[in-house]
């Protein structure tokens, strides 16, 4: 069981308290009804599914109940860092050489 | 009956304290503190099992957890028959009953042993090659035969009467392994005051100090020092000492699974004791002190009972006071077996000869053995063992060939060297590294915050081990935030070693006589019957990766996970491939380190604790009325209320008719309820539901539909507006948690600018639906402060007031098509209010009804159930609910998804009613619908039945179905092909009762 | 569910029906720990932005804590920080915090949940071990000191955990989960002292 740092609770908490909520930084279009088919497809259906670093949303559902963002490595399953919902993608990842 | 191999004065057990036990129906006497293995050996019993594939007779190889052979069935009673228990681990208790496994009709005469004679048939990869053709024979012939012949032991056939405990624990330093290294590390860590857990799989701490007679620490015998140190650790508040506890799995972020065997060693454990306790430990630092495991020599017939590891014989003698034979041969490739010879000789056991593969070794143990007059043969090999049910001789030959000599023995002790136990290190995803000089894999790069110390780290000698372990324990504690309070940590307090045994090296692979070109049965893996020849054959047949060799031969794949066999197998594969060992690589170690019972994994989660059973406030009343309950998710809901003599059908028919004729009471408490509060509550509702909400007056209700972004129906429910800034939202029973999650998701991440908050009030309110023409008359006398007239409280409205003197949110709404109310009261009052309503209801002929009647009544009205009539691919239009989509709205979740070409296509499946031509036939839910019943199979299916019931009110069956282009098929005849014939149906509207909806105010 | 043991009258109402709290009066004692159902209490779920906190604290008579995993208590009323802008208010004196909040115009949401939750006391030297049978959090006094409060997991159910003393916890769960939670804690209690 992983330990995940909740940016709102400001500490690491057991994975059992969390739930994954899919890829992060995919904003719902403000005028969604006017989206073209292609744009709606990109927004709703297409995900990056990378091997390596992924930006995703998690919810501390059995804790503070907040959604937040996390950077996780899909190869090692290690969390690189977490940050609050609404904050931009971190410019630099801790410990990243590239 | 007398334990004739017990040596008076030897070992640490109190030999006066006996315990009786039985093995295969025969009674024996053992000594308190014995394992089943030592007790049997004390009685001269070596033959304890038959091997898995060849059914060869087997005895004890080891004295510990690595045992591959001595697997037995422990029988406590009819329900407690544990198979595959290692006799070397099972502690003896008075009255213990054990049976051998994998033999028929008896251990000494086993019919399956024909496999041994026919063994050329059963060579490596035999399953893959033999049973390939013909395909049909696999199902009917091969598989049943293999299944009946395979498997070790017999599974218990009754529910496990024992209970199992579980616990999460956190510590700063977790020390795994309680030998000299582990104890030293724990002592150092404990001094800093950090939280320490020390675990060892044995009943007593000490590890190899159990048999190392030469170890002296702090002036004491090593084992005695260990006991004193453990007593000291146990007395500390910051240390938890766990014996009989195996660390079986090392997971991410220093999360380690341990199983503590709480009561398997007790004669009659009390009910208060769990059988096992699962510890899930999160440690800041882990110190691995898991020791090393001795390897056997790979030679012909090395599996005969009586042939065992040298260190095991020392443990049996020095700890249990048992001699494993009277005339013992030694076969070794390193020094450690000499110590066994010396200990046994000093205890009065004859050592027939030491056979040492090495040419000219020297050292103090060799001198000592020679000084005791023991015959020593250098440069020679044991090329075969004689005897079948028990070893009777060893045949010795110069290692490069030459004259053979047969020496009579009743036991052979062997040692090919020691393999560091890197299992847990490897599970932690650390990478092992091969040390060319010592020819062993030791921990290389670490993946987690842990350290390896002592023999598992390839550290030889007690002094070096304690040095390393003590320093590591202190380091781990410091890294975990501990402070050196004593100021002398790592110096004065380090245990002083006064005497030590030390050896290393040895050999890997097949011994002379079992090398390339030979066909003898020289076992590498005892438990899976893999020989040196099998490994070579695998390589020859093209398995060049060790992972392939492993799977082809099954080497290391038995329950012992190759603790003794992996390195030999690897060396033979490498030799055959002509590659160095590290290039061939080591297979991955996976959890569990030793077998783990299902019980310990399940823990408390069985019976009532398997999953929460949720009951509503009126459950007791319904149960007392004889209600039959159905499971709806975790909820128990009253399904129907049969009267005396009624079956389900009769009860549901009566309930359905009574509700439409008089009234019915129904517990709707399980529906999800969410209070949406804040100045932007209506704005939020506009975004989450298809309907318009801004203009809904406070005090009024609306049926809402919630979509996912893809445009499909996600949930539905009636929503009441209590105030401009407060909505009382209901959801489906099953949808409650996910709807809340969905709403929070949008609120927190897409619409965070809205000032609104969501609170689950599902369990705050008990909900009693009162439905039927007499509903108002039943409720009215109990209500205060609410005008119940149609003018003041029309259909789809909500009021707050009091009922039976307690607060209520009273909804005028209907899921039956009748005049209806849903009385919300605080949950603790639910049952009493129900009773009051029931008493009123009796005056008007009301019935209590359950979920089945609720389903029938709503289907009669064509009201859908999300999840039954919809399946995640149904749009509001498909369900005939276009009217509930706000046409002027510019945004809501699902608005764009709904517009997708596929979602507006004409040919989509639409929800319609179905009437069978024969009114008595009730369709099966899920049944497929076709246009032409005469077409060939596979038929073109154009839809399926989603809801189907007998409607007593209609006097016929009714059904709802999703049918392609359904609304354009009104009056069409369609067909439902079933196994017993095709059913003719007519497509109809969805409303079967009161199409105009007049009864809502009737 | 045993309900006969403790039937209480609804506070303040004259001719009201009886209140039948879930598992009322149930208790289990084991060596080192006692698990018992606590009497009903008044509760609200309170949500408010930071700007409203002073006014709400004043109205409630207890300062709403701003630190994660913490609580504040005064005069029988406890405010537990559950998340950003979210508190659970528990009143054990019979005073209704909902009424107190209703007087405040500052932006907030107060929802009555007195009947939604059931409270269970776990007390004794083995209390932490008992809770740890199903709760994966570190319950040492360093990590979870007296007054610490957290929504978390116990077995297969969500709970709110409040440490009321070095060796005592208040476990709050939803009403229909109380049977499961109480049974799990009772079974765990019998193992905890071992």
Residue C6 banded pLDDT, cuts 50, 70, 90: very low
The CATH number of C42-112 is: 3.30.70.1520
Whether C151 contacts chain B with CB within 8 A: no
Burial (Cβ within 10 Å: 0-12, 13-18, ≥19) of residue A77: exposed
How confident is the model over B221-244, as a mean pLDDT? 97
Q: List pLDDT tens digits, range C27-55.
A: 999 999 999 999 999 999 999 999 999 99
**Subunits that touch chain B (at least 3 Cβ pairs < 8 angstroms)?**
A, C
Q: List pLDDT tens digits, range B548-584.
A: 999 999 999 888 889 999 999 999 999 999 999 999 9
Length of chain C: 194
Residues of B in CB contact (< 8 Å) with A are 251-253, 255, 280, 282, 709-710, 741, 744-745, 748-750, 752, 890-891, 895-897, 899-901
Q: How far apart are CA B784 and CA B800, in angstroms?
A: 10
Q: Where are the alpha helices (DSSP H) in B678-764?
A: 681-688, 736-745
Residue B1 banded pLDDT, cuts 50, 70, 90: very low
| pTM for this entry | 0.94
Domain boundary among B105, B129, B153: B129
C176–B612 C-beta distance less than 8 A = yes
Q: What residue in B sits closest to C112 (Cα-Cα)?
A: B764
pLDDT over 80 at B679, yes or no: yes
Q: List pLDDT tens digits, range B433-481.
A: 999 999 999 999 999 999 999 999 999 999 999 999 999 999 999 999 8
Percent of chain C with pLDDT over 70: 92
Q: List pLDDT tens digits, range C141-184.
A: 999 999 999 999 999 999 999 999 999 999 999 999 999 999 99
pLDDT over 90 at B122, yes or no: no
State the average pLDDT for chain B. 94
Grouping H, G, I as helix, E, B as strand and the rest as coil, residue B249 is strand
Give Cα C99 distance to the centre of its chain: 19
Whether C66 contacts chain A with CB within 8 A: no
Domain boundary among B499, B524, B556: B499
Residue closest to C5 by CA, chosen among C28, C24, C19? C24
CATH number for C25-39+116-192 (one of 3.30.1360.120, 3.90.226.10, 3.30.950.10, 3.40.50.300): it is 3.30.1360.120
Residue B105 and residue B171 in one domain? no
Residue B156 banded pLDDT, cuts 50, 70, 90: confident
**Subunits that touch chain C (at least 3 Cβ pairs < 8 angstroms)?**
A, B
The CA angle B71-B74-B75, to the nearest 5 degrees, is 150
Shortest distance, CA C74 to any CA of chain B (angstroms):
25
Whether C71 contacts chain A with CB within 8 A: no
Whether C22 contacts chain B with CB within 8 A: yes
Across the interface, which of A11, A16, A63 has its CB nearest the CB of C151? A63
B757–C109 C-beta distance less than 8 A = yes
Shortest distance, CA B929 to any CA of chain C (angstroms):
41
C158–A62 C-beta distance less than 8 A = yes
Tell me the backbone φ, ψ of residue B569, rounded to 5 degrees: -60, -45
Residue-level pLDDT at C9: 40
Spell out which residues of chain B touch residue C13, defining contact as CB-CB under 8 Å. Answer: 802, 805-806
Contact, B873 vs B660, CB < 8 A? no
Tell which phi-psi region holds residue B407, choosing left (phi > 0), alpha (psi between -120 and 50) or beta: beta
Q: What residue in C sits closest to A8 (Cα-Cα)?
A: C84
Across the interface, which of B745, B891, B901 has its CB nearest the CB of A67? B745
C82–A16 C-beta distance less than 8 A = no
Structural domain boundaries in chain A: 3-27+35-84
Whether C82 contacts chain A with CB within 8 A: yes
* Token pair for C126: 């083995």
Lowest mean pLDDT among A92-96, B222-226, B859-863: A92-96
Residue C8 banded pLDDT, cuts 50, 70, 90: very low
- Residue B383 domain flag: no
Domain boundary among B499, B520, B541: B499
Residue-level pLDDT at B132: 55
Q: What is the ipTM of this complex?
A: 0.97
> For chain B, what is the domain count?
3
* Token pair for B845: 């002929």
A-to-B residue pairs, Cβ atoms closer than 8 angstroms: 51
Residue-level pLDDT at B146: 53
Spell out which residues of chain A touch residue C82, defining contact as CB-CB under 8 Å. Answer: 64-65
CATH 3.40.50.720, applies to A3-27+35-84: no
What is the end-to-end Cα distance of chain A in Å, rounded? Answer: 28
The helix or strand, by DSSP H or E, that contains position B771, with its residue range, turns out to be strand B765-771
Percent of chain A with pLDDT over 70: 96
Spell out which residues of chain A touch residue C134, defining contact as CB-CB under 8 Å. Answer: none
B748–A85 C-beta distance less than 8 A = yes
Spell out which residues of chain B touch residue A16, defining contact as CB-CB under 8 Å. Answer: none
Q: Where are the alpha helices (DSSP H) in B751-896?
A: 775-779, 830-843, 851-860
Q: What residue in C sits closest to A63 (Cα-Cα)?
A: C151
* Token pair for B673: 């309820």
Residue-level pLDDT at B483: 77
Across the interface, which of B604, B620, B679 has its CB nearest the CB of C1? B620
Question: Which residues constitute the domain of residue B57?
Answer: 18-129
Q: What residue in A sits closest to B749 (Cα-Cα)?
A: A85
**Subunits that touch chain A (at least 3 Cβ pairs < 8 angstroms)?**
B, C
A32–B899 C-beta distance less than 8 A = no
Residue-level pLDDT at B585: 85
How confident is the model over B522-545, as a mean pLDDT? 94
Residue-level pLDDT at B487: 57
Lowest mean pLDDT among B173-177, B526-530, B920-924: B526-530
Q: What residue in B sits closest to A28 (Cα-Cα)?
A: B750
Contact, B268 vs B80, CB < 8 A? no
Q: Which residues touch B304 (CB under 8 Å, ≥6 apart)?
A: B57, B59, B385, B386, B387, B388, B390, B391
Tell me the backbone φ, ψ of residue B693, rounded to 5 degrees: -125, -25
Residue-level pLDDT at B966: 97
Residue-level pLDDT at B141: 60
Q: List pLDDT tens digits, range C81-96.
A: 999 999 999 999 999 9
Q: List pLDDT tens digits, range B780-819.
A: 999 999 999 999 999 999 999 999 999 999 999 999 999 9
Q: List pLDDT tens digits, range B576-633.
A: 999 999 999 888 889 999 999 999 999 999 999 999 999 999 999 999 999 999 999 9
pLDDT over 90 at B939, yes or no: yes
Angle formed by the axes of helices B566-577 and B532-540, nearest 10°? 40
Q: List pLDDT tens digits, range B715-750.
A: 999 999 999 999 999 999 999 999 999 999 999 999
Residue B117 and residue B253 in one domain? no
Whether A10 contacts chain C with CB within 8 A: yes
């Amino acid at each position: 069981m992983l330990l995940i740092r909740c940016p709102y609770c400001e500490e690491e908490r057991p994975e059992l308290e969390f739930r994954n909520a899919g890829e992060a930084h995919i904003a719902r279009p403000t005028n969604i009804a006017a989206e073209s088919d292609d744009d709606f497809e990109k927004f709703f259906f297409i995900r990056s599914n990378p091997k390596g670093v992924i930006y995703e949303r998690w919810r501390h559902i059995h804790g503070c109940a907040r959604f937040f963002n996390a950077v996780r490595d899909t190869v090692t399953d290690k969390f690189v860092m977490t940050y609050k919902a609404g904050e931009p993608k971190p410019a630099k990842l801790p410990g990243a050489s590239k | 009956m007398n334990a004739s191999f017990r040596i008076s004065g030897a070992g640490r057990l109190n030999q006066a304290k006996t315990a009786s036990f039985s093995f295969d129906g025969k009674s024996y006497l053992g000594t308190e503190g014995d394992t089943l293995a030592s007790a049997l050996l004390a009685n001269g019993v070596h033959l304890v099992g038959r091997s898995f594939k060849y059914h060869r007779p087997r005895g004890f190889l080891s004295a510990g957890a690595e045992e591959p052979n001595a697997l037995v069935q422990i029988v406590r009673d009819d329900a407690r028959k544990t198979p595959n228990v290692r006799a070397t681990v099972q502690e003896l208790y008075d009255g213990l009953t054990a049976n051998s496994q994998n033999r028929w009709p008896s251990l000494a005469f086993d019919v399956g042993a024909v496999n041994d004679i026919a063994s050329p048939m059963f060579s490596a990869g035999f399953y893959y090659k033999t049973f390939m053709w013909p395909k049909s024979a696999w199902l009917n012939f091969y598989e049943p035969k293999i299944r009946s012949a395979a498997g070790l032991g017999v599974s218990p056939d009754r529910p496990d009467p024992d209970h199992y405990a579980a616990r999460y624990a956190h510590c700063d330093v977790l020390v795994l392994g309680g030998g000299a290294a582990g104890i030293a590390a724990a002592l150092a860590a404990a001094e800093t005051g950090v939280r320490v857990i020390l675990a060892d799989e044995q009943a007593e701490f000490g590890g190899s100090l159990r048999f190392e007679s030469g170890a002296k620490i702090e002036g004491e015998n090593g084992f005695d020092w260990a006991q004193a140190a453990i007593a000291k650790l146990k007395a500390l508040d910051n240390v938890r000492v766990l014996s009989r506890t195996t660390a079986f799995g090392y997971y991410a972020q220093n999360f380690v699974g341990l199983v503590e065997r709480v009561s398997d060693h007790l004669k009659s454990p009390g009910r208060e004791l769990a059988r096992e306790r699962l510890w899930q430990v999160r440690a800041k630092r882990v110190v691995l002190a898991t020791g090393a495991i001795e390897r056997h020599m790979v030679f012909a017939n090395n599996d005969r009972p009586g042939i065992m590891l040298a260190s095991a014989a020392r443990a049996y003698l020095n700890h249990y006071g048992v001699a494993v034979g009277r005339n013992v041969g030694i076969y070794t490739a390193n020094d450690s077996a000499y110590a066994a010879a010396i200990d046994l000789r000093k205890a009065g056991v004859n050592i027939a000869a030491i056979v040492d593969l090495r040419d000219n070794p020297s050292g103090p143990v060799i001198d000592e053995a020679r000084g005791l007059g023991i015959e020593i043969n250098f440069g020679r090999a044991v090329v075969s063992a004689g005897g079948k049910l028990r070893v009777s001789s060893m045949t010795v030959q110069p290692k490069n060939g030459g004259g053979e000599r047969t020496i009579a023995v009743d036991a052979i002790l062997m040692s090919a060297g020691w393999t560091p136990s890197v299992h847990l290190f490897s599970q932690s995803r650390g990478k092992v590294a091969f040390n060319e000089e010592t020819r062993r894999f030791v921990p290389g790069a670490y993946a987690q915050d842990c350290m390896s110390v002592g023999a598992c780290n390839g550290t030889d000698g007690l002094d070096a081990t304690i040095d390393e372990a003590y320093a590591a324990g202190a380091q781990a504690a410091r890294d975990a935030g501990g402070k050196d309070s004593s100021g002398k940590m790592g110096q004065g307090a380090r245990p002083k070693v006064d005497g030590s045994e030390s050896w290393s090296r040895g050999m890997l692979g097949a011994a002379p006589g079992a090398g390339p070109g030979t066909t003898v049965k020289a076992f590498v893996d005892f438990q899976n019957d893999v020989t040196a020849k099998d490994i070579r054959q695998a390589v020859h047949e093209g398995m060049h990766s060790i992972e392939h060799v492993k799977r082809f031969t099954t080497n290391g794949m038995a329950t012992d996970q190759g603790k003794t066999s992996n390195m030999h197998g690897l060396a033979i594969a490498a030799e055959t491939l002509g590659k160095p060992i590290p290039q061939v690589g080591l297979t991955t170690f996976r959890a569990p380190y030793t077998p783990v019972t299902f019980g310990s994994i399940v823990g408390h989660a069985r019976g009532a604790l398997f999953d929460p059973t949720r009951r509503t406030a009126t459950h007791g009343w319904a149960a007392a009325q004889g209600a039959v309950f159905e499971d709806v998710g975790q909820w128990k809901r009253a399904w129907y209320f049969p009267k005396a003599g009624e079956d389900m059908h009769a009860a549901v028919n009566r309930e359905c008719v009574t509700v439409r004729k008089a009234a019915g009471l129904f517990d709707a408490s399980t529906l999800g309820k969410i209070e949406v509060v804040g100045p932007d509550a209506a704005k939020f509702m506009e975004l989450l539901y298809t309907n318009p909400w801004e203009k809904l007056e406070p005090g009024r209700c609306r049926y809402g539909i919630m979509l996912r972004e893809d445009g499909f129906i996600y949930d539905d429910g009636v929503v009441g507006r209590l105030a401009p800034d407060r909505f009382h939202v209901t959801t489906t029973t099953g949808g409650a948690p996910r709807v809340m999650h969905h709403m929070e998701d949008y609120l927190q991440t897409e619409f965070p600018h809205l000032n609104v908050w969501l609170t689950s009030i599902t369990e705050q309110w008990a909900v009693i639906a009162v439905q039927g023409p007499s509903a108002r008359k039943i409720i009215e006398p109990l209500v205060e402060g609410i005008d119940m007239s149609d003018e003041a409280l029309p259909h789809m409205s909500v009021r707050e007031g009091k009922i039976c003197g307690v607060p209520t949110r009273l909804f005028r709404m209907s899921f039956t098509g009748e005049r209806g109310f849903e009385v919300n009261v605080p949950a603790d009052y639910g049952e009493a209010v129900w009773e009051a309503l029931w008493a009123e209801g009796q005056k008007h002929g009301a019935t209590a009804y359950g979920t089945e009647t609720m389903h029938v009544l709503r289907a009669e009205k064509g009201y859908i159930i999300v999840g039954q009539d919809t399946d995640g691919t149904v749009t509001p239009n498909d369900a005939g609910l276009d009217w509930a989509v706000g046409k002027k709205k510019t945004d809501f979740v699902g608005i764009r998804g709904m517009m997708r070409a596929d979602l507006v296509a004409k040919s989509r499946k639409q929800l319609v009613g179905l009437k069978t031509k024969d009114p008595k036939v009730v369709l099966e839910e899920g049944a497929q619908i076709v246009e032409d019943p005469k077409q060939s199979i596979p038929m073109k299916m154009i839809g399926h039945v989603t809801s189907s019931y007998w409607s007593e009110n209609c006097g016929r069956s009714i059904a709802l179905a999703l049918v392609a282009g359904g609304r354009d098929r009104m009056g069409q005849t369609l067909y439902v092909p079933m196994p017993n014939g095709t059913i003719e149906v007519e497509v109809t509207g969805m409303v079967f009762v009161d199409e105009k909806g007049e009864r809502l105010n009737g | 569910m045993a309900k006969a043991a403790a039937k209480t009258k609804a506070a303040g109402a004259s001719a009201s029906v009886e209140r039948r709290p879930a598992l009322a009066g149930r208790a289990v004692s084991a060596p080192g720990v006692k698990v018992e159902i606590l009497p009903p209490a008044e509760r609200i779920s309170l949500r408010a932005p930071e700007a409203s906190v002073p006014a709400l604290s004043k109205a409630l008579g207890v300062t709403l804590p701003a630190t994660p995993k913490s609580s504040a208590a005064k005069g029988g009323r406890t405010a537990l920080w559950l998340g950003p802008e979210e508190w659970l208010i528990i009143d054990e004196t019979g005073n209704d915090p909902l009424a107190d909040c209703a007087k405040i115009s500052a932006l907030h949401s107060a929802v009555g949940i007195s009947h939604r939750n059931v409270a269970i006391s776990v007390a004794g030297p083995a209390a932490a071990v008992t809770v740890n049978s199903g709760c994966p959090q570190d319950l040492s006094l360093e990590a979870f000191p007296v007054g610490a409060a957290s929504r978390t997991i116990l077995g297969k159910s969500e709970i709110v955990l409040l440490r009321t003393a070095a060796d005592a916890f208040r476990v709050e769960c939803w009403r229909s989960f109380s049977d499961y939670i109480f049974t799990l804690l009772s079974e765990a209690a019998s193992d905890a002292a071992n």
